[in-house]
Structure 1
């Protein structure tokens, strides 16, 4: 990630300004404010603003004044209870605003989370920078045979990966060159809103993304999962670090009950109870489809297959 001198100066200026406030602040978040966390080859995510902390969640749940005499351990217990039982409104009391720079194809996945306020850099008004994403050699893989919307774990050969990188760079550079040609007032002189049509999905865009904590965690539950596409997962991983700095008690409960947890259907629970009771279980008599049986066994490291 390369920041211009103007961008670096703006960051330093903003970080040098302090505001006196009676609102709760989080020391770790104050350190993070405005500082870009590099992602991919040209992208970043940075905290622009936030509101609330762990105590705001507890206060909303108790509907009380101030922090009272409750101990941190009791606050942690309440937050874990709220997370475990899927309460949402107390977590909606906290908000965060991020500035994100990301490839357009990642933005198209991201925007499917329709629970945030978004303001994107406009290529109708401004000219996009000549920055496009090219995956690392080790991240270029064939289509997965099991996952129809993702890549396989094993990468392609080095020769193939280098060829793919060459194609991506060549096409993106060619499209951007034509973009500049269309914009040139001494040449074709086409409007920016038309010239942008020619750009690739690998071009970088930027936006401000504001969301409450409940929906922030919903985003992370899906996008920090190992099955998520790597190019959006790396942003989610940075956002997990932000979550831990912002609301550490909530982050710990989230990792325990959401990110690291899995859900079993009613029929799966019936099968598990039978297995624990010493009964013989198998897919044919379980009432589960073959895929459901395989998914459940994968979560249990194949223990049911060993018993059948």
Structure 2
């Protein structure tokens, strides 16, 4: 998975000025100039907002990520109707033969009941079956796609044979509150008050996004984790 932060306007100070307008009005703009290490009272305010779920101050910021991942990851991603998405189009460009094939580190065996699954490592034989089947079907599907294009069939028709493990790319833009909602559902974390059981591939994307966000807004990220990773 590829995740790059391509543009951002996101700092812990953005939370502070948005929150303090409720008590000091335009004087809260002074907090917008805060750089570097936050004062203890500033960190305390961010923690209070997170703990008591005052969510709107966490919306006054923006991050745009470039993501490359298999299409099935994007379909899970876009269930989160809290971001703006623009994805490459199979109608307007020829799609490239880049396919996701699970490697030997991908757990294969599902154990448990809905909402409480565990995934365990597969055997060498299971991994061999998965990798061979995925490779064969991906190559066959792309061969059919190319045959249709060469016959003059429109890209929007030819693409329908391509599988969900084909890589796509998109820009996704969201604020910190939306990102926390996404992370609360798409990461499995020991500090989470409410456990989540994400598919590993989208969790890899979420972990990369979280790492970059934590560098932009360290106090907000710390408060998110300290308060059980529940989006305010």
Structure 1 residue 112 displacement after superposition: 0.3
How far is 1:244 from its partner?
1.1
1:18-43 deviation digits (Å, cap 9, x = unpaired): xxxxxxxxxxxxxxxxxxxxx2xxxx
Indicate yes or no: 2:191 matched with 1:223.
no
2:136 equivalent to 1:153: no
Structure 1 residue 109: Cα displacement: 0.6
1:189 aligns with 2:155: no
Paired residues for 1:261-272 under 5 Å? none
Q: Does 1:54 align with 2:12?
A: yes
TM-score (ref. length: structure 1): 0.66
Alignment of 1:70-81 (within 5 A): 72-81=39-48
User: SS at the partner of 1:258?
Assistant: coil
Partner SS for 2:91:
coil
The residue matched to 1:107 in structure 2 has which SS?
helix
In the TM superposition, what are the counterparts of 1:193-272 in structure 2 within 5 Å? 193-225=156-188, 227-259=197-229
In 2, Cα distance between the equivalents of 1:205 and 1:98? 14
Alignment correspondent of 1:66: 30
- Asked if structure 1 preserves the Cα contact closer than 8 Å seen for 2:110 and 2:119, the reply is no
> Could you say which residue in structure 2 is the equivalent of 1:292?
none
CA contact (8 A) 1:141 1:152 kept: no
Q: Structure 1: state its 5+ residue gaps.
A: 1-38, 262-308
Contact 1:140 1:161 in 2 (8 A): no
The answer to whether structure 1 residue 119 and structure 2 residue 93 are counterparts is no
Three-state SS of the structure 1 residue aligned to 2:110 is coil
- Number of aligned pairs? 214
Residues of 2 paired with 1:171 and 1:179: CA distance?
A: 12
Query: Radius of gyration: which is bigger?
Result: 1
How far is the alpha carbon of 1:163 from its aligned partner? 1.5
Q: Distance in 2 between matches of 1:57 and 1:235?
A: 25
Counterpart among 144, 168, 176 of residue 134 in structure 2: 168
- Is contact 1:141–1:151 with CA below 8 Å preserved after alignment? no
- How far did residue 52 of structure 1 move? 3.0
Q: Matches of 1:55 and 1:120 in 2, distance apart?
A: 31
Higher relative strand content:
2
Contact 1:103 1:201 in 2 (8 A): yes
Residues 57, 112 of structure 1: alpha-carbon distance in 2 compared, 3 angstrom cutoff: same
Give the C-alpha shift of residue 72 in structure 1.
Answer: 1.7
Aligned to 1:282: none
Task: Tell me by how many angstroms 1:71 deviates.
Answer: 5.5
Cα distance in 2, alignment partners of residues 140 and 167 from structure 1: 16
**Equivalences for 1:4-23 in 2 at 5 Å?**
none
Deviation, 1:142, is 2.5
Q: How far does residue 149 in structure 1 lie from its aligned partner after superposition?
A: 6.9
Q: Which runs of 4+ in 1 moved over 6 A?
A: none
Q: How many angstroms apart in 2 are the aligned matches of 1:242 and 1:62?
A: 26
Task: Return the alpha-carbon distance in structure 2 between the equivalents of residues 65 and 244 of structure 1.
Answer: 23
CA RMSD of aligned residues (A): 1.9
